[in-house]
């Protein structure tokens, strides 16, 4: 039987405020006061530094950060430095993944790496539905496209030295209760200048790409959110329930 998952469209929200909201929802879920949920939103221009981020991978000076109106935030998710901003769809699943412990057969009962891989496959399926072929890259996290893909999905000649470009980023945190926070970010239509200010995820030589660089007709955020909700429910076997996103309606009382 599928379990309930609430899809909450937040709109635009500051990164710090979204972190506070996630922590609150995770606490409610751990206490049995609400169902699983996924937040769908966008952030203002923000660079976030995960647990493995190095400050030298922030390339812009203070003056450049001010010029581009970019906020820098340290965060408790995994991964390096990345960018969030307008033109990017961000999803934060708040899911009860279960505790990570060994049973009597010395087998882990929860596999958080598999959770990350499922998020990647979900994004790959979504992109394929819009005509973009993407992939997982062994040893790397996220979703990638061949570097030689050009406008309208037509490929130019590829060299063996060409590195793929990231179209979907993933960085998660699972707390002591087995509740997931943070999640994924899908580049829909982002200006290159914002990625030029960092070494994304600390990976030298790997570029980024947006859906708008591949598609002639870019889906709207509203359409993309609906697609994400459907595919997320399918991938994680959830019964998706929509919310209008108002903060007063976020909590589902199960008492």
What is the tens place of the pLDDT at every residue in 120-135?
999 999 999 999 999 9
What is the tens place of the pLDDT at every residue in 68-125?
999 999 998 988 999 999 999 999 999 999 865 545 554 444 578 899 999 999 999 9
Report the CATH number at residue 176. Answer: 3.30.930.10
Average pLDDT, the chain: 87
255 is a domain residue: no
105 is a domain residue: no
Cβ neighbours of 158 (radius 10 Å): 11
Entry pTM: 0.88
CA 181/CA 216 separation, integer angstroms? 34
82 is a domain residue: yes
What's the total number of domains in the chain?
1
Sequence-ordered list of residues with C-beta below 8 angstroms from that of 239, at least 6 positions apart, any chain: 2, 3, 4, 5, 233
Active site positions, annotated: 201
Residues 36-48: what's their mean pLDDT? 97
Domain containing 178 equals 3-97+110-249
CA 33/CA 13 separation, integer angstroms? 24
90 is a domain residue: yes
pLDDT value at residue 66: 97
102 is a domain residue: no
43 is a domain residue: yes
């Amino acid at each position: 039987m599928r379990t309930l998952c609430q899809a909450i469209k937040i709109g635009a929200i500051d990164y710090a405020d979204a972190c506070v909201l996630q922590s609150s929802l995770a606490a409610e879920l751990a206490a049995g006061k609400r169902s699983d949920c996924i937040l769908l939103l966008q952030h203002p221009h923000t660079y976030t530094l995960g647990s493995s981020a190095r400050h030298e991978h922030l390339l812009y000076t203070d003056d450049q950060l001010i010029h581009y109106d970019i906020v820098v935030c340290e965060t408790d998710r995994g991964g390096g430095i990345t960018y969030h901003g307008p033109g990017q769809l961000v999803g934060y699943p708040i899911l009860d993944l279960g505790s990570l412990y060994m049973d009597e057969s010395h087998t882990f009962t929860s596999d958080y790496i598999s959770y990350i891989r499922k998020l990647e496959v979900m994004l790959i399926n979504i992109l394929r539905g819009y005509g973009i072929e993407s992939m997982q890259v062994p040893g790397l996290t996220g979703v990638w496209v061949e570097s030689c893909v050009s406008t309208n999905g037509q490929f130019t000649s590829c060299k063996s030295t060409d590195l793929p470009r990231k179209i979907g980023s993933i960085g998660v945190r699972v707390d002591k209760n087995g509740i997931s926070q943070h999640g994924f970010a899908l580049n829909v239509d982002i200006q290159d200048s914002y990625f030029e200010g960092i070494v994304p995820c600390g990976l030298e030589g790997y570029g980024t790409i947006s859906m708008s660089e591949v598609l002639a007709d870019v889906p709207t955020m509203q359409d993309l959110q609906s697609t994400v909700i459907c595919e997320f429910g399918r991938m994680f076997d959830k019964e998706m329930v929509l919310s209008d996103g108002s903060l007063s309606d976020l909590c589902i009382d199960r008492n």
